Amino acid sequence: MKGNLESVSILLDFGAEVRVVNLKGQTPISRLVALLVRGLGTEREDSCFDLLHRAIGHFELRKNGSMPWEVTRDQQLCEKLTRLCSAPGTLQTLSRYAVRRSLGVRFLPEAVKQLPLPTCLKEYVLLLS
């Protein structure tokens, strides 16, 4: 709930789905954005947001083309999120998401180690670069 960077990192290492939705219809990124909008975010939450963004490739917060009203109250955050939501995910970032998802729920550092890929690509898939 608070965007605990270590917890998010461990969950991602074990193949957690970043597009999962809770009972309130919130994804990890939308829940984190709600925290940032309230001014409760710190540098650690920003780092957590960046990690989730790298893991997901592309995300959408807009409803009917507009940002939620809560987000529009913080102009700097709204501009940042609008830029991120407006830009389509690159083939590279979307491929990383697809590879991570195809590996399933398991310890990804071990699974990726077995892939016939150069080290730089393995690090990219593991969100290390």
Q: The domain containing residue 19 runs over which residues?
A: 5-126
80 Cβ partners below 8 Å, 6+ apart? none
Contact by Cβ (8 Å): 26, 18:
no
Domain count within the chain: 1
pLDDT in tens, the chain (129 residues): 565 888 999 999 999 999 999 999 888 988 888 888 887 777 888 899 999 999 999 988 888 888 888 888 889 889 999 999 998 899 999 999 999 999 999 999 999 999 999 999 999 999 998
3-state DSSP assignment of residue 63: strand
What's the predicted TM-score (pTM) here? Answer: 0.85
pLDDT in tens, 74-102: 898 899 999 999 988 999 999 999 999 99
What's the CA gap between 15 and 92, in Å, rounded?
Answer: 18
What's the CA gap between 20 and 124, in Å, rounded?
Answer: 22
